[in-house]
Structure 1
Amino acid sequence: MRLVLASNNRKKLGELQALLVPAGVELMAQGMLGVAEADEPFHTFVENALAKARHAARQVGGAAIADDSGLCVDALGGAPGVYSAHFAELATTEVDREDHRALQDAANNALLLDRLNGVTDRRARFISTLVAVRSADDPEPLVAVGRWFGEILHAPVGSGGFGYDPLMFIPALGRAVAELDAPTKNAHSHRAIAAAQMLTLMREAWHRG
């Protein structure tokens, strides 16, 4: 089964593709089909994920899946939340998409450390909300949510992953997310938890896998 992924993030595409293999799902990034990114006007992950999935499904005339994910920090009242990807303001630069994403990640991490300067409660969690639809008007979207609990470090470590991975320490693993190899991350992450739920939903509702 082919699903359009309502994202152009190549790293997210790779992670989700590996996680959804058991259901026989093949993901294709929406940009490969000329689909522009959807607006994300809502204040919750589930509403934004549903909007993105329906937008992609409508543009391609088929099934789609969207992941709206981010970091929620207790001491910041849940921020950056749905604004995680663009937490810090970044001037538009003449670089390609992936270079721009790397610059944005660095700016986001720097702002997060600044906001938590002097704060002792550094508990946080990564959230991944997956929504899959068979069509743009599917009345029964599949919704799965994964939460990965950790603590925000005082400085970035590791070179793997993306986003806030260098700052997110997972006590249960004794390492920051950016220090984990891909198999370990894919076995424990918020996206892995959500994907496992999604696989169950696909088997039950879509008879996949």
Structure 2
Amino acid sequence: MTKSTILVVEDEEAIRAMLLLVLEQAGFTAYAAGDAREAQAVLDQTPVDLILLDWMLPGISGAEWGRRLRKETAYQDLPIILLTARGEEEDKVRGFDVGVDDYMTKPFSPKELIARIRAVLRRSGKLSDAGQIVLGDMMLDAEQHRLSIGERQLEVSPTEFRLIQFFMTHPDKVYTRTQLLDQVWGRSVYIEERTVDVHIRRLRKILAEYGREELLQTVRGFGYRFSLTA
């Protein structure tokens, strides 16, 4: 099953290490950055499902970076949870004005943090209690390892299932072959980039049997995108 990916942006090393440990123990894939510049570099290379963003960062503040992200089309819908030591009601209002999805005041319990993350991911459509992802008439059930269009079940290999699962949890976004290899196959496995092309062709052939091959789109010079719209 493809894990949800969380980017932790926190300048205090001890807190950053604690958050990474908590997230990994909860089953998430986690990346870390110490400031907005490092965080942007991660985003440029790695698709993430949610950002844990500290308010007070060196250089550009977390609040300001979050505000900038919301102005970019690619990140307008990316869930953000703001972490801060500020506890006053006025500061919370300012946090939501930035466009964040939730707000947590330090100190907080790891259990509450994970619960908040899962709630935000569910609201954003990236996580469901039943392990199901639904896009249009397509439904993927991660727990039962089933992929269907309407009432018809598609027969796909385990690798193709992971690939379509990743695409369905990140619709309308373009990913390079390298990004897909990292997210679906894993960074510890060496596989040639053309392997991605092979599995894309297989998935398209399967989808074509149901008249849906247009869902997997090639973006020339960049990579691939999964979208319900042409």
- Normalised to the residue count of structure 2, the TM-score between the two structures is 0.29
Q: Tell me: higher relative CO, structure 1 or 2? Use CA pairs within 8 A at least 6 residues apart.
A: 1
Larger Rg: 2
